[in-house]
């Protein structure tokens, strides 16, 4: 296990050294926001968008945010042809990104399976919602590595490893829901992803589609599978890189601009430095209690029986009183405490006050002294 972890660190270090100048993101004048869902209001992936009604318009990104490009040239987006809305969410403590994709198309193109195209290596000719994620802002190319001459070797060792590209079929028929442009197709499978569609149209018809899904971003997504990979840690009020593109096909050919993308740069599908800035937003005040005690702890030194207690209370707190379960107390906000006796029946609690009231949070038998 230690050897696997060391290998991952070496590979990550190589990627970071190779592309150390890639921290800048596209559209630097714009910062997009990722809505934080309360833990008791996590969206259910069932194709019903009502769970997202609590998400405000300021988190909704529509067709007017996209730039239609084809061959690198700007093109106008006709919203009578294709019109989309995207919301992104997260839940603190879960390393997942939730998406709600709603779209109208005047010609839904899906279900095409061209054997000749497949033989030539072209795996799709259907409408697609393409998203790219770089959760640790490693930046730089993430599909093609010019330092690896052998294409198969380069794909299996590099493509999608430090940032991921998902080609999501809208909708799929007789195929997987998502084509991963990378060497790790398993990232689009449960328990690393989940999805559900809702629509009422047939191929070639017009209509509205709703897609709910979530994905797991990876700092290192290995060809060899999840046991050799490193999940990205999503941290409140930090920045990650995301972009998306709409691939609109009509009659098996790209329609209009063909590739309408959020970054206004077609390189965003293969270069993480061309993604957009997205912030993992804190929980909105309307979901927070006025006062609520909360805390966690860490073992600093088990041999010395030394523990660190961290205040995680909510509110304008002016007083903290810790009770460590051994008769000792502290008024520090985040105290260190050294126990004298071994045991596992300690009950620790924290009392907090805000001037108008008080709140208590206790944990029974969580603190174990060996």
Complete domains list, the chain, with CATH: 25-285 (2.60.40.1190), 289-364 (2.60.40.10)
- Digit-coded pLDDT (tens) for 269-312: 999 999 999 999 999 999 999 999 999 999 999 999 999 999 99
Structure token pair of residue 329: 């107390």
DSSP at 1 = -
Residues of the chain with pLDDT under 70: 1-24, 68-76, 114, 116-124, 251-258
Per-residue CA distances from 351 to 24, 236, 299, 323, 334 (Å): 44, 25, 21, 8, 13
pLDDT at 112 (0 to 100): 73
What is the rounded distance in angstroms from the CA atom of residue 40 to the CA atom of residue 157? 40
Question: Are the beta carbons of 366 and 297 closer than 8 angstroms?
Answer: yes
Strands laid side by side in the 358-364 sheet: 329-330, 319-323, 347-353, 358-364
- Enter the tokens of residue 82: 């294709």
Q: What DSSP letter does each residue of 223-241 carry, written as one string? A: TT-GGG-EEPPP-TT-EEE
Give the other-Cβ count within 10 Å of 260's Cβ.
24
Structural contact between residues 131 and 242, judged by C-beta atoms closer than 8 angstroms: yes
Q: Which two tokens stand for residue 265?
A: 């740069």
Q: What is the pLDDT of residue 255?
A: 57
Cβ(309)–Cβ(300) below 8 Å = no
C-beta separation of 186 from 225 below 8 A = yes
User: Can you give the pLDDT at residue 250?
Assistant: 78
**Percentages helix, strand, coil for the chain, rounded to the nearest 5?**
15, 40, 45
Return all residues near 219 (Cβ < 8 A) that are at least 6 apart. 12, 135, 136, 138, 162, 230, 231, 232
Q: Is the pTM of this model over 0.85?
A: yes
């Amino acid at each position: 296990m230690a050897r696997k972890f060391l290998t991952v660190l070496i590979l990550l270090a190589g990627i970071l050294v190779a592309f150390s100048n890639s921290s800048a993101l596209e559209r630097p004048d714009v910062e997009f926001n990722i809505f934080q869902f309360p833990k008791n209001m996590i969206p259910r992936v069932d194709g019903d968008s009502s769970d997202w009604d609590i998400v405000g318009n300021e988190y909704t990104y529509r067709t007017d945010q996209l730039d239609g490009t084809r061959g690198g040239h700007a093109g106008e987006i006709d919203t009578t042809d294709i019109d989309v809305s995207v919301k992104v969410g997260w839940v603190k403590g879960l390393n997942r990104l939730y998406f709600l994709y709603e779209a109208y198309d005047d010609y839904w193109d899906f279900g095409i399976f061209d054997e000749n195209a497949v033989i030539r290596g072209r795996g799709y000719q259907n409408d697609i919602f393409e998203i790219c994620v770089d959760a640790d802002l490693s930046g730089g190319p993430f599909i093609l590595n010019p330092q690896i001459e052998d294409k198969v070797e380069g794909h299996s060792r590099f493509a999608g490893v430090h940032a991921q590209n998902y080609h999501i079929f809208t909708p799929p028929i007789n195929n997987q829901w998502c084509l991963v442009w990378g060497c790790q197709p398993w990232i689009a499978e449960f328990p690393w992803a989940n999805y559900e569609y809702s629509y009422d149209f047939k191929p070639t018809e017009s209509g509205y589609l709703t897609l709910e899904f979530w994905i797991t971003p990876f700092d290192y997504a290995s060809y060899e599978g999840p046991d050799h990979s490193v999940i990205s840690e999503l941290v409140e009020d930090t920045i990650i890189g995301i972009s998306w593109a709409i691939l609109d096909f009509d009659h098996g050919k790209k329609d209009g601009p063909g590739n309408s993308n959020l970054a206004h740069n077609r390189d965003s599908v293969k270069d993480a430095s061309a993604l957009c800035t997205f912030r993992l937003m804190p929980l909105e005040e309307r979901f927070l209690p006025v006062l609520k005690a909360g805390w966690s702890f860490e073992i600093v030194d088990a041999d010395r029986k030394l523990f660190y207690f961290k205040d995680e209370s909510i509110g304008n707190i002016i007083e903290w009183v810790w009770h460590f379960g051994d008769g000792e107390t502290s008024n520090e906000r985040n105290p260190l405490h050294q126990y004298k006796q071994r045991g596992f029946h300690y009950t620790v609690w924290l009392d907090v006050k805000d001037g108008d009231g008080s709140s208590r949070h206790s944990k029974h038998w969580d603190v174990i002294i060996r």
